[in-house]
Chain A
C-alpha cells in the first residue's frame, strides 16, 4: 500500500501540488485524472522519488521515500511521460542495463528481460538501436523497463500517448493483467480510458484533489440530477403542462420547435428516472399526445470530471467534497 499524506510541492512561490492525501491499495488500478498542468506528473514524480516534496510524506509499504529512498524505490517501477531511454543503446542492452539498475539477481535477469519483452511485444526489435524505433515502440520499451523485476507498484504517466489504437488496446490489457500481482497508478486525460481500466480515480486540478472514489460512485453521485429529453407531436402547451405536472420533474429547461409540428422538451429530473419516464409516458398517452422519442441522459465520467474540476475547492476531505458536489444526497439521508 502507498500512503500519501499532505503532499505539497512548491516551485519557487508557485504551489504545484497542494496538501493532497490519498492511498493506493494493493492490487488496484488507480486512475489519476486531471487537465494539463493539474499537477499529475509532479505528484507522480514525487511518488516515484524523482522530485523531493516540499511537504508531506509518501510511504511505500510503510517506508518513507524521503528517509529510505533506496528501499522504497525497489518496490516501484516508473514510466514517466517521456520514456527514459538511451537513443544510442540497443533495446536488449537497455533492458540489461535496467535489470542491473533494479538489482535483479544475475541468474534471473535473462528470463525476466525475456518475459517483459514478450509482454510488451518488443522482442522483434531487441537488436535495434532505440533511436531508430518509432515513438510507440520507444514508449513500449519504457513501459517494459517500468515492469522489469516485478515491482509491487507500477506508476505510469500517460502510458498510451503516441500509441496507435491497436497498441492502446494492448497496453490497456497489459495494465489489467498487471492488476493481478501489482498496484498500478495510471495518469491520463482520456476519460474513457480511465473509466474502462481503473478501479478508483483521483481527480486533480491546479494541485488540489477534487475527488477520490470509484467511477460508479462518482457517476451515481451525479445521477440524481438526471436530464430527460422528450420529443412529442401535438399541442405545445398541453404537452408542457403534462410534463411539468409529472411527479419528479424539477423543471423544463428548454423547448424547441421542430419540423412536422414536433416539440422537443429538455427536463431536469429529481428522483428515479425510470419511474418518472414511465409515468410521463402514460400521462401523455392518456392525453393522446404522440411520443416520438424519450430518453434520459445519464451524467458520465466526463460530466463528473468537468463539474469537479471547475468547482472551487473548499476542503480536501472526501466526504465534504462529495457533500459539496451533491448536497441533495445529504438531504435524502
Chain B
C-alpha cells in the first residue's frame, strides 16, 4: 500500500524531495506575477542554449479569467504549479515522471494513467513543443512537453518539461471534493488550516478586482511602460563602462516582458481587448520574449562561447 500524503504541503514537500533526489536544483518561486511556471526564467531562458540544466520549483500562477470567487471545486485565478525542467531530456523521463506520482501517493496499479496528445504552444513566448497531458483516472494531472522552440530559437538540445497542476492533483490524492476543503497543513496539528482558510478570501477579492474593478487605463499604461523598458534595457550597449566588462541585462529585460504578459492577461479578463487587438498584444509580448531570447543566447548562461 502506498503511503498517502495528508496535506497539500506534504505533496509539495514530497515532490521537492523526489526531484532533488533525481538531481534537480530545487529553485524557489520567481518573485513576479506569471501565468504559468514556464515563464520562470529557469525554464524559459534556460531551455535556450547548449548548457545542461536540471531544475524543479513551485511557481504560483495567475490566470485572471479563471477566477470563480472560490466557488468552483477546482478553478482558481491563483494557483500553484510544480515545474521540472531537464536539459537534455533524459531517455527515461516518462519513468522518472511516473516515479514522482508514486512518491506523492498515486499507486499506478490502482489508477488509470495515460499520456494523451497535447501539443503545447505559447504564442506570447514564441514557444512550442510536443507532448501530452497526463491523465489519472480521466483527470489531467500534468503537462509533459518536449520543448522544440523558445523565443523563436530551436531548442538544441531539447528540454523535457513537466508541469503539475498542484491543487487539482492534491484534491485528487487527498480525496476531497472541493479545493477549499483541502487540508493545507497536517489536519492533526494544533492549528489545522484548509486551502480555503488560506485562499478563499483572496480568491473573492481578486475575482472582483480582475473582472470588475481593475483600472484598465492604468493597466494599459503599465503595459506600455513595461514594453518600452524591456526594449530600452536590451538596446543598451553590452559593455558596462563602470565595471569595464560585458553585462547583457537579459533578466531585468525579461522581468519587463513577464510584466507585460501579466498585464495583458489582466486586460483580457476585464474584457477590454477585442479579438483583433488580442493578436496584436500577443505579438507585442512575443516580440519582447524573442528579444530576450536573442539576448540570452549571447550570454554565458545561454551557452555563448566567450
Partners in one complex: no
Q: B residues engaging A (CB < 8 A)? A: none
